[in-house]
Structures are given as C-alpha cells and as structure tokens.
Amino acid sequence: MEFRLPNLGEGIEGGTITAVLVKPGDTVKAGQNVVTIETDKAAVDVPIESDGIVESVAIKLGDKVAIGTPLLTLTTGRSPAPAAAAPSPPPAASVPPAGAPVAATDSTPPAPAAATTAFHLPNLGEGIESGTVTAIFVKPGDTVKAGQNVVAVETDKAAVDVPVESDGTVVTVDVQLGDKVAIGGKLLTLKALTPPPSTTAAPPPSAPGSASANDRESTASPARAAATTSNGRVATLPASASACALDIPASPATRKLARELGVALNEIRGSGRGGRVTFDDVKAFVRNERQRLKETGGLTPAPAAAAGGSIVNVFTLPPLPDFSKFGPIEVAEVPQIRQTIAKNLTIGWRTMPMVTQHELADITELEAGRKRIVEALPKGSSKITMTVLAIKACVAALKEFPRFNSSYDMNAGKLILKKYYHIGIAVDTERGLVVPVIRDADKKSIRDLAQEVATLATKARENKLTIDEMRGGTFTITNLGGIGGTAFTPIVNYPEVAILGLSKSSLQPVVRDGQIVARLMMPLSLTYDHRVIDGADGCRFTVRLAQLFSDPLRLLMET
C-alpha cells in the first residue's frame, strides 16, 4: 500500500520533510507518526493510516513535497497465518481462486504478490468537498478494471458513480454505506494485477457467476456515468462532465490553482506523463487566455476551440429552470455589448478580491469656481464638468501613489507599474455602459480634457467609438452624481487595479472653526484590488483626493 501525504489543513499545499521517523522493515501501527513536515504555518507530525510493515521510504530529509505525494510503501496484513501459508503454492495456484469468491474473500493478499495501493475519492467537481457513500459495487477478492465503478456517493449536487483508476484485485473495502468521505479520503485497497501468460488465458472461460458479474460491470461502466446508481438515483453529471471531474490526472495543488483561477482541467492539454496536467500547464493556459483578452481589449467573445487546443470558458453556468412553469414570462434578447460587459465584469470579479473605501470631499469652493469658469466660457465651448476636474485630481493622486496605476500579473508574480496615465470614463448609453479612454491625461489642460470628454461621450452614445478608443486604460472614473445616490461599490475594470466612483453632492452641516456651516459635500467611493493595494493605502488615496477636491488652488498647483 502506498501512503501519501494527506491534507494538512486549509490553504496548506505541501511542505519540507524535516524528520523521517521510520525505516524499511519497521512495523508501524495506525496513528503512529512516520514523518515530520514543515509547512508555511507549522511543523506537523504525519501519522500513518493503518498497521503494516514499511517496505520502502520514498522521501528524504529536505525534500519538498506536495499534498498527495507518496511518502512510504507499506505491506499490510490483518491475519499473519494466511500470509505465511500463501508463499507455498506456486503462482499459478493463486490464479484459480480469482474465480472462486469464497477463497478470494477469505484471505489477505499473499506476501510475494504485487504491491498494494490505496484508491482515494477523486475530485468530483468544482465546489464539491465530500460525499456520502450510497452504494458499494465491489467486495474483497473482486477483480476490477480501470474505469469500472466501485462506489456511488451522494454529494450536495448529484449522485455520482466513482470509477477506479487502474486494474487490480480488491484487498479491502475501507468504507461502509452511509459513511461521509472527504475528497482524497480512502475508499479501497487494491493489489495490482500481475499477469503471467497463464493469467491472460484464464479469464476468457469465466463460468463462475461472480466473474461474469464483474465483466458485466466493467463493460457497462462507460454508460453508467449517465445511468442510474444502485440506489435508484440518476447521476446528473453527464459523461463528459464525469470525465472532467474524475479522469483528468492532476495533483491536489494543481486542482486548487485551477479552481482559484476559474479554469476547468478538461480544457487544458496536460504536458506531464500520461497527459497529466501540471501547475505550469494551468498557469500557461491562463496566461494565453489573458493575452488574448489583452489583444482584443476584452471586448470580443472567446474564439472557438481550435483543433488540438481550447479556450477556457469561465462564463459557463448551470442552466436556469423553466420559469414558465411558475407564471407568465417574456424572453428578451441581450445586446452583444451587454453580453461583453457581463463577461468583462465577471473576469474582474472572479480575478481579484475587491475592497471599497468611502470618503466625503468638500467641493464648496471647487464647485463655485467651476461655475464661474463655465459662465465665462464662449458660447459653444465644451463644458467643464466635475468629471473633468476629477481626472486632474486622479492624475495627481496616481503620481503620488503609483501602485494604483498598475496591473498585477499573478502568473509571473510581478506588478506592472505604468508610467503613463490613460483615464477611462464610464459613459451611460442606451446600449449599456461603455468606457472610452482619455490618453495621456497628465499632458492635457482642463479645456483639452473637457473637449475630449465631451467628444468621446457623444461618440459613445451614437455607437461610433472604435476599439482603440476603449483600450489601454490605467484607471477608471464613474460618475453617478447626475442621477443620485449617496455611495456605491464600483467594480474594478480588469486588468486595472482601481476605480473611483462619484456620487451626488449635497449640502451638509459641517463643523468649521467651531461653527456649524453648510458645505457642499461629494461622496467618493474607491474600489481597489486588495492583492496589490492595502487598506491603509486605499484610505490614504481617498483622503488625498478629498484634499485636492477641497482646495482648488492645490489642485491647479499639483496638476
């Protein structure tokens, strides 16, 4: 039996071997510590799961091991007497009992046979952590083939038949009906088949009933992924989904990374031995998808899968129920631009942990000055709005806090700090929200910005924006002040790391110089990527913006 590094706790993917407490030949008992491993959280003693004799130790001091890595090979034997008697018959004599259930059930695997392995509950799909055993299709002594269903488990999402991964003989069944088993929990102990010439000739004349039952089970196994389980429940996972969840070879650490990045393992072509999906395969796959999004500006749907490869579909959701069963409905087409907005927002939401910081800016003097300037402008001039002034304030703050003008490459573990300031302006249109980009905002005057904002907003509402006019933003401003509201939580426009929301300004009582006075206050809502920006810096940024909005002279001097 192969003993692998078990799950050590939430968020622990592996560690370094700091002590090996056993050696080949040692007898161990269930619960006995066999190795010590240093994780990023603590030093942990790892106990063995069952009694046995250590055949070999697969690791050494200083080895870095991931969850699921083989640590030891163990010979297990519950009754020493049969094990001692087993070597006397020649190998051929050990084959006939395979057709006789009584003999196979009666004894543990003979000592000279092939090594035993443990079969664990595999990953059953995104978000499934455990299941309850509702059926057991095999017993000790049964011969099983790769792909044959051995147990059925009931999860919170579906009843699923679980196929074994390799040929072998069942040594022990380590679960019972009703047991709750976590992903990675032990189900069976198997002995690998050792097929001498006589063994290959023996199976065809399979007269015994138990052998034919096994044959029927193995031939039926491909269909059972979509058939009923032994308890009568229908396994709702389709055959393709069952293959995705159960048959894609990958380590626990690789599966965890794929879940965190929203990638289905069946979408990735594995480069490891036997098509195994590696950690690097997942990262390369996501990197290629993000490059595609970068090249298209995130505004076009993913291309269809090409031969020999595919594109991850992170937007696939379970089908909705038939709402017409409950009452009258109307089905409306969703414009392509709205579908694109939904996809882009989903990327941002699933990619980054977001935090929103709120602040009030006293814009009494700024608004009074803005009105004076607007009244003095020649007729037909572009209007200087609060959005235009917000661009100048944001550029000044971005220069002081450069991490807000960056993008985070999680695959490479690098932060890309941008030395240019392209500010996106969210524009509300009849077709949905679009974000044209003001390029090199730091190099333009307030009048220049006013004219460009007006031009791009008009083009957006007339559906005349080009793709290039919506690419390359480093920071976004969305202003809902003309509609209302006191605060909101804007979603970061991926791959940026921050977005500023402006709400409706209002007269509020404020204490100044010991007196309560009415001041025009504008709510600021800054959402940022917490992977890149800490809460303290998020607060400093909004406070700095409030200072700039509150002092028009400072705003002019620092921009």
Q: What is the CATH number of the domain that holds 381?
A: 3.30.559.10
Which residues are marked as active site? 530
Same structural domain, 466 and 549: yes
Say what the pTM is. 0.49
Domain membership flag for residue 317? yes
pLDDT for the residue numbered 432: 80
User: Among 127, 358, 103, 427, which Cα is nearest to 255's?
Assistant: 127
Query: DSSP letters along 452-480, please?
Result: HHHHHHHHHHTT---SGGGS--SEEEEE-
Contact of 475 with 496, CB cutoff 8 Å:
yes
**Domain CATH for 70:** 2.40.50.100
- Phi, psi of 508, rounded to the nearest 5 degrees: -135, 150
* Contacts for 482 with CB less than 8 Å, ≥ 6 apart: 504
Boundary residue ending a domain (13, 42, 76): 76
Measured in whole angstroms, the distance separating CA 215 from the mean position of its chain's CA atoms is 39
Q: Report the Cα–Cα distance between both ends of the chain, in Å, rounded.
A: 70
Does 309 share its domain with 377? Answer: no
- Specify whether 214 is located in the same domain as 273: no
In a domain, 64, yes or no: yes
pLDDT of residue 125: 63
Clarify whether residues 87 and 42 are in a common domain: no
In tens digits, the chain (559 residues) has pLDDT values of 888 888 876 567 788 898 899 999 899 888 888 898 877 656 788 888 888 899 999 998 888 888 888 898 888 764 443 433 344 444 444 444 444 444 444 444 444 445 788 898 888 765 577 888 888 999 998 999 888 889 988 776 466 788 888 888 999 999 998 888 888 889 999 888 765 454 434 444 433 333 333 333 333 333 333 333 333 333 333 333 333 334 577 777 787 787 767 777 777 888 887 678 888 888 888 878 766 665 554 444 444 333 333 334 444 567 888 999 999 999 998 876 777 778 888 888 888 999 999 999 999 999 999 999 898 888 888 999 999 999 999 999 999 999 999 999 988 889 999 999 999 999 998 878 889 999 999 999 999 999 999 999 999 999 888 878 988 999 999 999 999 999 999 999 999 999 999 999 999 999 999 999 999 999 999 999 999 999 999 999 999 999 999 988 888 776 6
CA gap 190, 165 in Å, rounded: 11
State residue 222's pLDDT score.
35
Domain boundary among 26, 58, 76: 76
DSSP code for 491 = P
Domain edge (last residue) among 76, 101, 124: 76
Residue 307 lies in a domain: yes
- Are residues 366 and 410 part of one domain? yes
Q: Are residues 279 and 365 in the same domain?
A: no
The whole-number pLDDT of residue 11 equals 60
Instruction: Let me know whether 286 and 353 are in one domain.
Output: no
Does residue 106 form part of some domain?
yes
Residue 418 shares a structural domain with residue 382: yes
Same domain? 5 vs 139: no
Whether residue 249 contacts residue 258, with contact meaning beta carbons closer than 8 Å, is answered with no
Residues 496 and 538 placed together within one structural domain of the fold: yes
Within a domain: residue 201?
A: no
Instruction: Specify whether 232 is located in the same domain as 264.
Output: no
Q: Does the residue 202 lie in any domain? A: no
Query: Which contacts of 242-245 are long-range, i.e. CB under 8 A and separated by 24 or more positions?
Result: 242/160, 242/161, 244/125, 245/122, 245/123, 245/124, 245/125, 245/160
Contact 492, 528 (CB under 8 A): yes
491 and 505 share a domain? yes
Is 341 part of any domain? Answer: yes
**Does some domain include residue 263?**
yes
Neighbouring CB atoms inside 10 A of 326's CB total: 8
Expressed as residue numbers, the domain containing 315 is: 248-332
Return the pLDDT at 488: 96
Count of domains forming the chain: 4
Here the CATH number for the domain that contains residue 275 is 4.10.320.10
Q: How far apart are CA 534 and CA 76, in angstroms?
A: 52
